[in-house]
Protein backbone atom coordinates (compact mmCIF):
# COMPACT_ATOMS: atom_id res chain seq x y z
CA UNK A 1 0.00 0.00 0.00
CA UNK A 2 1.41 3.37 -1.06
CA UNK A 3 2.21 5.85 1.74
CA UNK A 4 0.37 9.16 0.97
CA UNK A 5 1.18 10.99 4.20
CA UNK A 6 2.51 14.51 3.61
CA UNK A 7 5.71 15.30 5.46
CA UNK A 8 6.07 19.05 6.31
CA UNK A 9 9.31 20.85 6.92
CA UNK A 10 9.61 23.42 9.68
CA UNK A 11 9.97 26.13 7.04
CA UNK A 12 6.75 24.95 5.38
CA UNK A 13 4.85 25.24 8.63
CA UNK A 14 6.23 28.66 9.46
CA UNK A 15 5.46 29.89 5.96
CA UNK A 16 1.88 28.65 6.20
CA UNK A 17 1.45 30.23 9.61
CA UNK A 18 2.80 33.53 8.25
CA UNK A 19 0.31 33.51 5.38
CA UNK A 20 -2.56 32.79 7.76
CA UNK A 21 -1.58 35.38 10.37
CA UNK A 22 -0.62 38.16 8.00
CA UNK A 23 -3.66 37.60 5.80
CA UNK A 24 -6.26 37.38 8.54
CA UNK A 25 -5.94 40.82 10.16
CA UNK A 26 -5.91 44.27 8.63
CA UNK A 27 -3.51 46.90 10.08
CA UNK A 28 -4.72 48.20 13.45
CA UNK A 29 -3.79 50.38 16.45
CA UNK A 30 -2.25 48.51 19.40
CA UNK A 31 -1.90 50.00 22.88
CA UNK A 32 0.55 48.78 25.53
CA UNK A 33 3.64 49.40 27.62
CA UNK A 34 7.12 49.24 26.09
CA UNK A 35 9.67 46.79 27.50
CA UNK A 36 13.05 45.34 26.47
CA UNK A 37 13.61 48.37 24.20
CA UNK A 38 16.60 48.17 21.83
CA UNK A 39 17.30 50.99 19.36
CA UNK A 40 19.75 49.45 16.90
CA UNK A 41 22.42 51.49 15.14
CA UNK A 42 20.81 50.40 11.88
CA UNK A 43 17.86 52.62 12.77
CA UNK A 44 15.49 49.76 13.57
CA UNK A 45 13.74 49.47 16.94
CA UNK A 46 13.02 46.19 18.74
CA UNK A 47 10.82 45.93 21.84
CA UNK A 48 8.05 44.10 23.61
CA UNK A 49 4.61 45.60 24.04
CA UNK A 50 2.56 44.38 26.98
CA UNK A 51 -0.46 44.91 29.20
CA UNK A 52 -1.21 43.51 32.66
CA UNK A 53 -1.68 39.93 31.37
CA UNK A 54 0.20 39.41 28.11
CA UNK A 55 3.01 40.60 25.91
CA UNK A 56 4.26 40.22 22.35
CA UNK A 57 7.34 41.13 20.41
CA UNK A 58 7.38 44.30 18.34
CA UNK A 59 9.58 45.85 15.68
CA UNK A 60 9.61 49.34 14.14
CA UNK A 61 11.84 49.33 11.07
CA UNK A 62 13.57 52.70 10.63
CA UNK A 63 11.81 54.02 13.71
CA UNK A 64 14.84 55.14 15.76
CA UNK A 65 14.39 58.86 15.05
CA UNK A 66 10.67 58.77 15.85
CA UNK A 67 11.23 56.94 19.14
CA UNK A 68 14.00 59.34 20.16
CA UNK A 69 11.85 62.36 19.36
CA UNK A 70 8.95 61.00 21.45
CA UNK A 71 11.26 59.99 24.31
CA UNK A 72 10.12 56.36 24.21
CA UNK A 73 11.75 54.26 26.93
CA UNK A 74 11.05 51.12 28.89
CA UNK A 75 7.75 51.63 30.71
CA UNK A 76 6.39 54.20 28.22
CA UNK A 77 2.74 53.69 27.34
CA UNK A 78 2.38 53.88 23.56
CA UNK A 79 -0.12 53.43 20.75
CA UNK A 80 1.34 51.78 17.65
CA UNK A 81 -0.22 51.35 14.22
CA UNK A 82 0.81 48.34 12.19
CA UNK A 83 0.06 44.68 11.57
CA UNK A 84 0.97 41.20 12.76
CA UNK A 85 3.84 39.50 10.95
CA UNK A 86 5.68 36.20 11.37
CA UNK A 87 9.47 35.95 11.52
CA UNK A 88 9.85 32.58 9.83
CA UNK A 89 13.46 32.03 10.89
CA UNK A 90 12.47 31.67 14.55
CA UNK A 91 8.84 30.80 14.10
CA UNK A 92 7.72 33.83 16.10
CA UNK A 93 4.94 36.28 15.41
CA UNK A 94 5.41 39.95 16.15
CA UNK A 95 3.76 43.32 15.74
CA UNK A 96 5.37 45.36 12.96
CA UNK A 97 4.76 49.05 13.71
CA UNK A 98 4.46 51.66 10.97
CA UNK A 99 3.58 54.62 13.20
CA UNK A 100 4.09 55.35 16.89
CA UNK A 101 2.67 57.88 19.32
CA UNK A 102 2.47 58.31 23.06
CA UNK A 103 -0.77 56.97 24.49
CA UNK A 104 -3.43 59.66 24.44
CA UNK A 105 -1.53 61.85 21.97
CA UNK A 106 -4.20 61.34 19.36
CA UNK A 107 -6.81 63.03 21.54
CA UNK A 108 -4.42 65.89 22.34
CA UNK A 109 -3.61 66.39 18.68
CA UNK A 110 -7.28 66.66 17.84
CA UNK A 111 -7.77 69.23 20.62
CA UNK A 112 -4.71 71.14 19.37
CA UNK A 113 -6.08 71.35 15.82
CA UNK A 114 -9.53 72.36 17.07
CA UNK A 115 -8.20 75.25 19.19
CA UNK A 116 -5.77 76.32 16.46
CA UNK A 117 -8.48 76.40 13.78
CA UNK A 118 -10.88 78.30 16.05
CA UNK A 119 -8.39 81.04 16.92
CA UNK A 120 -7.08 81.27 13.36
CA UNK A 121 -10.64 81.87 12.16
CA UNK A 122 -10.87 84.76 14.64
CA UNK A 123 -7.74 86.34 13.15
CA UNK A 124 -5.49 85.91 16.22
CA UNK A 125 -2.64 84.56 14.07
CA UNK A 126 -2.83 87.10 11.22
CA UNK A 127 0.63 88.34 10.14
CA UNK A 128 -0.65 91.92 10.11
CA UNK A 129 -1.05 91.79 13.89
CA UNK A 130 2.63 91.00 14.50
CA UNK A 131 4.67 93.82 16.03
CA UNK A 132 8.44 94.38 15.69
CA UNK A 133 10.65 93.38 18.61
CA UNK A 134 12.62 96.30 20.20
CA UNK A 135 16.25 96.38 19.13
CA UNK A 136 17.60 96.95 22.65
CA UNK A 137 14.85 96.92 25.28
CA UNK A 138 15.56 98.55 28.66
CA UNK A 139 13.37 96.06 30.53
CA UNK A 140 12.65 92.43 29.61
CA UNK A 141 9.69 90.62 31.17
CA UNK A 142 9.94 86.82 31.43
CA UNK A 143 6.96 84.59 32.24
CA UNK A 144 8.28 81.19 33.32
CA UNK A 145 9.13 78.91 36.24
CA UNK A 146 11.82 80.59 38.39
CA UNK A 147 13.47 77.23 39.06
CA UNK A 148 13.42 75.75 35.57
CA UNK A 149 16.27 75.20 33.15
CA UNK A 150 14.73 77.68 30.71
CA UNK A 151 15.30 80.72 32.95
CA UNK A 152 18.84 79.58 33.79
CA UNK A 153 19.71 79.32 30.10
CA UNK A 154 18.05 82.68 29.41
CA UNK A 155 19.91 84.53 32.18
CA UNK A 156 23.22 82.90 31.25
CA UNK A 157 23.02 84.35 27.75
CA UNK A 158 21.89 87.73 29.09
CA UNK A 159 24.80 87.95 31.54
CA UNK A 160 27.32 86.94 28.90
CA UNK A 161 26.09 89.25 26.15
CA UNK A 162 24.68 92.26 28.04
CA UNK A 163 25.01 91.90 31.85
CA UNK A 164 23.46 95.29 32.64
CA UNK A 165 20.02 94.66 31.15
CA UNK A 166 17.03 94.70 33.54
CA UNK A 167 15.19 91.36 33.60
CA UNK A 168 11.87 91.05 35.47
CA UNK A 169 10.61 87.52 36.10
CA UNK A 170 6.95 86.65 36.69
CA UNK A 171 7.08 83.21 38.41
CA UNK A 172 4.49 80.65 37.38
CA UNK A 173 3.96 76.94 36.85
CA UNK A 174 4.67 75.81 33.29
CA UNK A 175 2.94 72.44 33.31
CA UNK A 176 0.15 70.67 35.12
CA UNK A 177 -3.23 71.82 36.37
CA UNK A 178 -3.65 75.59 36.57
CA UNK A 179 -0.42 76.34 34.68
CA UNK A 180 -2.21 77.91 31.70
CA UNK A 181 -4.05 80.38 33.93
CA UNK A 182 -0.80 81.34 35.71
CA UNK A 183 1.00 81.94 32.41
CA UNK A 184 -1.90 84.07 31.16
CA UNK A 185 -1.84 86.14 34.38
CA UNK A 186 1.89 86.72 33.93
CA UNK A 187 1.44 88.04 30.39
CA UNK A 188 -1.48 90.20 31.54
CA UNK A 189 0.64 91.61 34.39
CA UNK A 190 3.26 93.00 32.02
CA UNK A 191 0.53 94.17 29.66
CA UNK A 192 -1.32 96.15 32.35
CA UNK A 193 1.71 97.59 34.14
CA UNK A 194 3.85 98.25 31.06
CA UNK A 195 6.59 96.80 33.23
CA UNK A 196 8.64 95.62 30.25
CA UNK A 197 9.45 96.65 26.71
CA UNK A 198 9.15 93.05 25.52
CA UNK A 199 7.72 89.89 27.14
CA UNK A 200 9.23 86.41 26.75
CA UNK A 201 7.02 83.39 27.48
CA UNK A 202 9.29 80.39 27.87
CA UNK A 203 9.89 76.89 29.20
CA UNK A 204 12.11 73.97 28.23
CA UNK A 205 11.20 70.98 26.12
CA UNK A 206 8.90 68.15 27.03
CA UNK A 207 6.13 65.89 25.79
CA UNK A 208 2.96 67.22 24.25
CA UNK A 209 1.25 66.73 27.61
CA UNK A 210 3.97 68.76 29.37
CA UNK A 211 3.64 71.62 26.88
CA UNK A 212 -0.15 71.55 26.81
CA UNK A 213 -0.75 74.70 28.99
CA UNK A 214 0.75 76.71 26.11
CA UNK A 215 -1.94 75.31 23.79
CA UNK A 216 -4.82 76.59 25.91
CA UNK A 217 -7.05 79.41 24.66
CA UNK A 218 -6.49 81.50 27.78
CA UNK A 219 -2.76 81.75 27.06
CA UNK A 220 -3.21 82.47 23.34
CA UNK A 221 -5.73 85.23 24.03
CA UNK A 222 -3.54 86.83 26.71
CA UNK A 223 -0.55 86.83 24.34
CA UNK A 224 -2.59 88.27 21.46
CA UNK A 225 -4.03 91.02 23.71
CA UNK A 226 -0.71 92.01 25.33
CA UNK A 227 0.10 95.72 24.99
CA UNK A 228 3.81 95.04 24.36
CA UNK A 229 5.46 92.63 21.89
CA UNK A 230 5.59 88.98 22.98
CA UNK A 231 8.20 86.34 22.10
CA UNK A 232 7.26 82.67 22.47
CA UNK A 233 10.19 80.38 23.30
CA UNK A 234 8.45 77.18 24.36
CA UNK A 235 10.07 73.75 24.11
CA UNK A 236 12.71 72.80 21.59
CA UNK A 237 13.07 73.61 17.90
CA UNK A 238 10.80 70.71 16.88
CA UNK A 239 8.02 71.74 19.28
CA UNK A 240 5.17 74.02 18.22
CA UNK A 241 2.42 75.39 20.47
CA UNK A 242 -0.56 77.65 19.90
CA UNK A 243 1.27 80.27 21.96
CA UNK A 244 3.85 80.36 19.13
CA UNK A 245 1.19 81.29 16.59
CA UNK A 246 -0.35 84.01 18.79
CA UNK A 247 2.98 85.64 19.70
CA UNK A 248 4.64 88.41 17.72
CA UNK A 249 7.65 86.16 17.20
CA UNK A 250 8.44 82.49 17.79
CA UNK A 251 12.01 81.35 18.54
CA UNK A 252 13.12 77.72 18.96
CA UNK A 253 14.73 77.87 22.42
CA UNK A 254 15.00 80.06 25.55
CA UNK A 255 18.64 80.78 24.69
CA UNK A 256 17.64 81.99 21.24
CA UNK A 257 15.09 84.32 22.85
CA UNK A 258 17.80 85.83 25.08
CA UNK A 259 20.13 86.42 22.13
CA UNK A 260 17.33 88.01 20.15
CA UNK A 261 15.95 90.45 22.73
CA UNK A 262 19.29 91.89 23.86
CA UNK A 263 21.06 91.99 20.52
CA UNK A 264 24.82 92.39 20.79
CA UNK A 265 26.37 95.37 22.52
CA UNK A 266 29.65 94.87 20.68
CA UNK A 267 27.80 95.00 17.37
CA UNK A 268 26.32 98.37 18.35
CA UNK A 269 29.72 99.68 19.31
CA UNK A 270 31.23 98.42 16.06
CA UNK A 271 28.44 100.07 14.05
CA UNK A 272 29.09 103.36 15.84
CA UNK A 273 32.81 103.12 15.12
CA UNK A 274 32.15 102.34 11.46
CA UNK A 275 29.79 105.31 11.23
CA UNK A 276 32.44 107.57 12.76
CA UNK A 277 35.07 106.33 10.29
CA UNK A 278 32.74 106.67 7.30
CA UNK A 279 31.78 110.20 8.38
CA UNK A 280 35.40 111.30 8.61
CA UNK A 281 36.23 109.71 5.26
CA UNK A 282 33.26 111.40 3.58
CA UNK A 283 34.16 114.80 5.04
CA UNK A 284 37.82 114.49 4.09
CA UNK A 285 36.94 113.44 0.54
CA UNK A 286 34.51 116.35 0.11
CA UNK A 287 37.04 118.83 1.51
CA UNK A 288 39.80 117.48 -0.71
CA UNK A 289 37.65 117.97 -3.79
CA UNK A 290 36.68 121.50 -2.74
CA UNK A 291 40.30 122.45 -2.08
CA UNK A 292 41.32 121.07 -5.45
CA UNK A 293 38.65 123.13 -7.20
CA UNK A 294 39.68 126.21 -5.24
CA UNK A 295 43.35 125.72 -6.10
CA UNK A 296 42.52 125.42 -9.79
CA UNK A 297 40.36 128.55 -9.63
CA UNK A 298 43.04 130.48 -7.73
CA UNK A 299 45.59 129.64 -10.42
CA UNK A 300 43.42 130.96 -13.24
CA UNK A 301 43.93 134.36 -14.88
CA UNK A 302 40.89 135.84 -13.17
CA UNK A 303 42.25 135.23 -9.66
CA UNK A 304 45.91 135.96 -10.22
CA UNK A 305 45.64 139.50 -9.03
CA UNK A 306 42.99 139.17 -6.32
CA UNK A 307 44.88 136.37 -4.61
CA UNK A 308 43.55 137.54 -1.28
CA UNK A 309 40.08 136.28 -2.38
CA UNK A 310 41.42 132.79 -2.76
CA UNK A 311 43.12 132.96 0.63
CA UNK A 312 39.85 134.12 2.19
CA UNK A 313 37.94 131.22 0.64
CA UNK A 314 40.58 128.81 1.88
CA UNK A 315 40.23 130.18 5.39
CA UNK A 316 36.42 129.86 5.23
CA UNK A 317 36.78 126.30 3.99
CA UNK A 318 39.14 125.43 6.85
CA UNK A 319 36.67 126.93 9.34
CA UNK A 320 33.83 124.92 7.79
CA UNK A 321 35.93 121.75 8.08
CA UNK A 322 36.62 122.45 11.74
CA UNK A 323 32.93 123.06 12.46
CA UNK A 324 31.85 119.88 10.71
CA UNK A 325 34.44 117.78 12.48
CA UNK A 326 33.56 119.38 15.83
CA UNK A 327 29.84 118.74 15.27
CA UNK A 328 30.48 115.11 14.35
CA UNK A 329 32.69 114.57 17.39
CA UNK A 330 30.14 116.17 19.73
CA UNK A 331 27.40 113.94 18.30
CA UNK A 332 29.51 110.84 18.79
CA UNK A 333 30.49 111.85 22.34
CA UNK A 334 26.87 112.55 23.27
CA UNK A 335 25.72 109.15 22.00
CA UNK A 336 28.58 107.34 23.71
CA UNK A 337 27.75 109.17 26.95
CA UNK A 338 24.10 108.12 26.57
CA UNK A 339 25.14 104.51 26.04
CA UNK A 340 27.40 104.59 29.12
CA UNK A 341 24.60 106.18 31.16
CA UNK A 342 22.16 103.46 30.14
CA UNK A 343 24.75 100.80 30.94
CA UNK A 344 25.25 102.31 34.43
CA UNK A 345 21.51 102.45 35.05
CA UNK A 346 21.03 98.84 33.96
CA UNK A 347 23.92 97.77 36.20
CA UNK A 348 22.24 99.43 39.18
CA UNK A 349 18.90 97.76 38.44
CA UNK A 350 20.33 94.30 37.77
CA UNK A 351 18.82 91.89 40.36
CA UNK A 352 22.03 89.83 40.34
CA UNK A 353 24.00 92.82 41.69
CA UNK A 354 21.65 93.06 44.67
CA UNK A 355 22.40 89.44 45.51
CA UNK A 356 26.14 90.11 45.29
CA UNK A 357 25.75 92.79 47.99
CA UNK A 358 24.60 90.19 50.47
CA UNK A 359 20.88 90.20 49.83
CA UNK A 360 18.84 87.06 49.20
CA UNK A 361 15.51 86.20 47.57
CA UNK A 362 13.26 83.83 49.53
CA UNK A 363 11.08 81.40 47.62
CA UNK A 364 8.24 79.23 48.91
CA UNK A 365 9.01 75.82 47.27
CA UNK A 366 5.39 74.71 47.64
CA UNK A 367 3.95 77.77 45.93
CA UNK A 368 6.86 78.31 43.54
CA UNK A 369 6.75 82.07 44.24
CA UNK A 370 8.97 84.63 46.00
CA UNK A 371 8.04 85.42 49.63
CA UNK A 372 6.91 89.05 49.88
CA UNK A 373 5.51 89.14 53.45
CA UNK A 374 6.82 88.44 56.91
CA UNK A 375 3.63 86.60 57.83
CA UNK A 376 5.06 83.12 57.42
CA UNK A 377 4.35 80.40 59.93
CA UNK A 378 7.18 79.32 62.19
CA UNK A 379 8.79 76.09 61.06
CA UNK A 380 8.14 76.81 57.40
CA UNK A 381 11.10 75.80 55.23
CA UNK A 382 11.98 78.29 52.52
CA UNK A 383 14.53 78.33 49.68
CA UNK A 384 16.99 81.26 49.81
CA UNK A 385 18.65 82.28 46.56
CA UNK A 386 22.07 83.92 47.02
CA UNK A 387 24.60 85.30 44.57
CA UNK A 388 26.52 82.00 44.35
CA UNK A 389 23.81 79.41 44.94
CA UNK A 390 20.85 78.44 47.07
CA UNK A 391 20.21 77.20 50.64
CA UNK A 392 17.24 76.02 52.65
CA UNK A 393 16.22 78.11 55.70
CA UNK A 394 13.57 77.58 58.39
CA UNK A 395 11.36 80.36 59.80
CA UNK A 396 11.76 80.75 63.58
Q: What is the pLDDT along the chain (396 residues), one digit of tens a residue?
A: 566 788 888 888 888 888 888 777 889 999 999 989 999 999 999 999 998 888 999 999 999 998 988 888 888 889 999 999 988 888 888 999 999 988 866 667 778 889 999 999 999 999 999 999 887 788 999 999 998 888 998 888 888 877 778 899 999 999 988 999 999 999 999 999 998 999 999 998 887 788 899 999 999 999 999 999 999 999 887 778 999 999 999 998 888 888 887 765 556 767 778 888 888 888 888 888 888 887 777 666 555 556 666 667 777 777 777 788 878 788 888 888 888 777 777 666 666 777 777 778 888 887 778 888 778 888 888 888 887 888 888 887
Q: What is the CATH number of the domain that holds 15?
A: 2.40.50.140
Q: What is the CATH number of the domain that holds 145?
A: 3.40.50.280
On whether residue 219 sits in a domain, the answer given is yes
On whether residue 5 sits in a domain, the answer given is no
On whether residue 3 sits in a domain, the answer given is no
On whether residue 131 sits in a domain, the answer given is yes
pLDDT value, residue 2: 60
Domain boundary among 103, 132, 149: 103
pLDDT value, residue 187: 96
pLDDT value, residue 199: 95
| Per-position DSSP letters for 337-391, written without gaps between them | HHHHHHHHHHHHH-HHHHHHTT--EEEETTTTEE---S---TT-EEEEEETTEEE
On whether residue 322 sits in a domain, the answer given is yes
On whether residue 129 sits in a domain, the answer given is yes
DSSP run (H or E) holding 113? helix 105-121
pLDDT in tens, 68-108: 888 888 888 899 999 999 888 888 889 999 999 888 666 67
Identify whether residues 66 and 172 lie together within a single domain.
Answer: no
Report the half-sphere exposure of 322 (CA within 13 A, side-chain side): 6
In 241-268, which positions are buried (b, 16+ CB within 10 angstroms) versus exposed (e)?
bbbbbbbbbbbbbbbbbbbbbbbebeee
Identify whether residues 167 and 210 lie together within a single domain.
Answer: yes
Question: Domain range for residue 19?
Answer: 10-103
Identify whether residues 226 and 281 lie together within a single domain.
Answer: no
Neighbours of 8 (CB within 10 A): 10
Identify whether residues 282 and 339 lie together within a single domain.
Answer: yes
Identify whether residues 21 and 155 lie together within a single domain.
Answer: no
Identify whether residues 200 and 326 lie together within a single domain.
Answer: no
Identify whether residues 120 and 258 lie together within a single domain.
Answer: yes
Q: How many domains does the chain have?
A: 4
Domain boundary among 242, 262, 282: 262
On whether residue 2 sits in a domain, the answer given is no
Neighbours of 169 (CB within 10 A): 19
Domain boundary among 262, 280, 310: 262
Identify whether residues 150 and 234 lie together within a single domain.
Answer: yes
Q: Are 54 and 94 in contact (CB under 8 A)?
A: no
Neighbours of 279 (CB within 10 A): 16
By residue count, the chain amounts to 396
Identify whether residues 33 and 51 lie together within a single domain.
Answer: yes
On whether residue 4 sits in a domain, the answer given is no
pLDDT value, residue 169: 94
Identify whether residues 37 and 64 lie together within a single domain.
Answer: yes
Identify whether residues 215 and 270 lie together within a single domain.
Answer: no
Degrees to nearest 5, angle at CA 278 with 276 and 280: 70
Q: Which of 238, 155, 164 is nearest to 200 (CA)?
A: 155
Identify whether residues 67 and 29 lie together within a single domain.
Answer: yes
The C-alpha atoms of residue 41 and residue 45 are separated, in whole angstroms, by 9
Amino acid sequence: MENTEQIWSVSDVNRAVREIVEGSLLPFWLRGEVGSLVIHRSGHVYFTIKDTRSQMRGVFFGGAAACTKLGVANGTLIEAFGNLTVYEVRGEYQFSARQLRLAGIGDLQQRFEAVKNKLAAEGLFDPGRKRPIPVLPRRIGVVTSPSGAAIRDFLQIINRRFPNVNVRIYPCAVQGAGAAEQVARGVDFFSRTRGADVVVVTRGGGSMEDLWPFNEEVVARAVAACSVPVISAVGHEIDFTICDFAADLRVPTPSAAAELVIGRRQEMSDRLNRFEKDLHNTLNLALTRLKSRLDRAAGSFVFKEPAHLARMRRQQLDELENRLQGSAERWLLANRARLDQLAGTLTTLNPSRQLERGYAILFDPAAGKPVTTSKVAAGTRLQARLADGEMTVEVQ
